Amino acid sequence: MLANGVLLVRDMGQVTEDVLKMRAELNAGTLLGPEMIATGYLLDGAPAQIPQIALALATPDEGRAAVRQQVQAGVDQIKVYSALEKDVYLAILDEAQKLGIKVVGHVPETVYVEDAAAARQRSIEHLHGFDKLIGTLLGLPITLRAGGQGSDARYWPRLQDVDRTALQAALRRIAATGVAVCPTVLVFQKGVDMARFQSGNHPMSEYISPGIREVWKTLWDPSQAAGLEYIWPPMQAFVAELHEAGVTLMLGTDLVFPGIIPGYAVHEEMAMWQEAGVPAADILRSATIVPARFMGLDGRLGTVSEGKAASLVLVRSNPLEDIQNARQVEAVFLRGKYLSRADLDRLLQEARELARQ
């Protein structure tokens, strides 16, 4: 992460006690790495889709209790997941608002994306829910049933058939709620080659440990890759539609998904946005000041100004001319600690060595 200029991360799903310990070490500087914002356990329906890192919630009362539990533990945000029933989801949002904590994550399969935004879900990951919006605008049947993910993903290839005026009007209404969207289009592009990544036959495989590769194999079935080659291109184009409508875009990539290489993936995602037509300056904002503001850290991060933390990335070429120039990291300041290119190269070497253990 550091070697690629990633100085702040948001962990979106771990055992709460474990990730909060890691957050404390990172933010105190006793563990070398980016600063961290953490959500802890996913709040999911019953049964939960990833039970190892989720709380399975079947009733609104259970949802409210889970929010209180997570807030008491000290998480920064509450993450909701795909299998929640609508009444449980709305109870979670309501309880979180009462306690003054943001709800982020997946739009459950039981909820329309515009309703999620209106109910004050503050960030939407992976473009979940927008497939239903496309279907709605085309007058097609919508699946509102708990369980699974992307139940209406079949509508993504139909994006070109949607009346653009109607689409932009719908997206502007969503933008007016203030919700942020973290598209992670790269996940869907990489998913096409899921089996190859799980086998270890891919670029930069030297950074992936046997343990992580086993997670790739355990969590993801190669059959899930079916049809992704038709889905990710319209999703990439949709990022430009969101930008045009004024929806707040926030850069992210997800992790523990086959083919996502920490740090490097950030630059791949930025390149995909640029290819879609998003200006480089706005992509940089989505990677810097936008997340800093969203995380409530803009008082000390996100811009270069007197009095803020010296967390800076120095690059050799101008990323305003081509966002891919942001890959050319020459040095990093992490809260005032200077890491030269030679230091970053040593970190990469250590990462490769650790991955072999």
**Cα distance between residue 330 and residue 320, in whole Å:** 16
Domains and CATH numbers, the chain: 2-307 (3.20.20.140)
> What secondary structure letter does DSSP report for 352?
H
**The pLDDT of residue 345:** 98
**The pLDDT of residue 141:** 97
Rg value, the chain, Cα: 20
Judged by DSSP in three states, 80 sits in strand
Length of the chain: 357
C-alpha distance from residue 171 to each of 168, 180, 293, 341 (Å): 5, 12, 22, 42
pTM score above 0.85 = yes
**The pLDDT of residue 14:** 97
The answer to whether 120 and 178 have CB atoms below 8 angstroms apart is: no
Tens digit of each residue's pLDDT, the chain (357 residues): 999 999 999 999 999 999 999 999 999 999 999 999 999 999 999 999 999 999 999 999 999 999 999 999 999 999 999 999 999 999 999 999 999 999 999 999 999 999 999 999 999 999 999 999 999 999 999 999 998 899 999 999 999 999 999 999 999 999 999 999 999 999 999 999 999 999 999 999 999 999 999 999 999 999 989 999 999 999 999 999 999 999 999 999 999 899 999 999 999 999 999 999 999 999 999 999 999 999 999 999 999 999 999 999 999 999 999 999 999 999 999 999 999 999 999 999 999 999 998
**The pLDDT of residue 48:** 96
Structure tokens at 322: 């081509």
Number of neighbouring beta carbons within 10 Å of residue 169: 12
**The pLDDT of residue 169:** 98
**Cα distance between residue 300 and residue 177, in whole Å:** 26
**Cα distance between residue 191 and residue 258, in whole Å:** 7
Which one, of 193, 222, 195, 198, lies nearest residue 210 by Cα? 198
